[in-house]
Amino acid sequence: MQIEQPKTLTEIVVERLREAIIDGQYAFGENISEDKLATAFGVSRSPVRDALNALQFTGLVTIRPKRGSFVFKPTGEEVAEICDYRLMLEREALRLAMAADRDGFLAALDDKLDQMRERMRAGDEIGYVRIDTEFHNLFFDHCGNRLVQNAFDLVEARIATIRTALNARFKQRREDSFDQHVAIVDGLKRDDWATVYEVLGKHITSIRTDAIDELARNPVES
């Protein structure tokens, strides 16, 4: 019978700013003005400052003394490290999720595929990418291991932001990504782990390559 406590102003600002960064409303390396955020949210600078500090912990924001706060701007090397880390965790999370809740996990994945297909047909780029993120998060929601979940939380927001920067902008990229999701689920249903690992590896490697190329073509001044 516990009553849910209302969210603080800082928590509300964290959620809204996190969503804005992931959805691509801010570019990599873009300055985030405390004053503008405070005005936009109708709050003082204090909760905005606290929110930026919280988002710095997740890696979404970089705070530079006397210069301001900026959206994270990964280097090619950092993108490679994030993708390697992601592949390692997602492979293990898939194995654990299938062992812990095979039927429930597969049903949840099928539901996300249906939602992604609908968003593609509707031409809803941001909606598609959000569900894409939810699809991959299911690996960890069903894996039954809090340590693996916590390990993924360290990079989840940065992965989602990189995903948006690629999939929301390029139709072919979304179509290829969707086909890979379908292949992963089909492989899981057949217990064909060789195919699952191969497709997942290609899926994440292609994001790694495309993200590094995109950052090289569109550098952001520090």
Q: What is the pTM of this model?
A: 0.86
d(CA 17, CA 70): 12
Q: Is a pLDDT exceeding 90 seen at residue 140? A: yes
- Among 16, 19, 23, residue whose Cα is nearest residue 124: 23
| Percent helix, strand and coil across the chain, each to the nearest 5 | 75, 5, 20
Residue 222 — very low, low, confident or very high, per pLDDT cuts 50/70/90?
Answer: very low
> Are 182 and 84 part of one and the same domain?
yes
Query: Where among 22, 50, 71 does a domain terminate?
Result: 71
Is 222 within the bounds of a domain? no
- The residue range of the domain holding 144 is 76-217
Share of the chain above pLDDT 70, in %: 94
Residue 1, in any domain of the structure: no
Q: Is 44 a domain residue?
A: yes
- Give me the number of domains the chain comprises: 2
Give a yes or no: residue 164 inside a domain: yes
Strand partners, 32: 69
Side-chain half-sphere CA neighbours of 10 within 13 A: 9
**Are residues 41 and 92 located together in one domain of the fold?**
no
If asked whether residues 182 and 88 sit together in one domain, one would say yes
Residues 126 and 31 in one domain: no
Q: Measuring CA to CA, which residue among 85, 100, 195, 194 is closest to residue 141?
A: 100
Closest CA to 162 of 201, 210, 199: 210
* Within-domain flag for 210: yes
CATH no. for residue 87?
A: 1.20.120.530
Judge if 87 and 66 occupy the same domain: no
Digit-coded pLDDT (tens) for 20-62: 999 989 988 999 999 999 998 888 999 999 999 999 998 999 9
Residues 148-189: tens digit of each pLDDT: 999 999 999 999 998 888 766 677 788 899 999 999 999 999
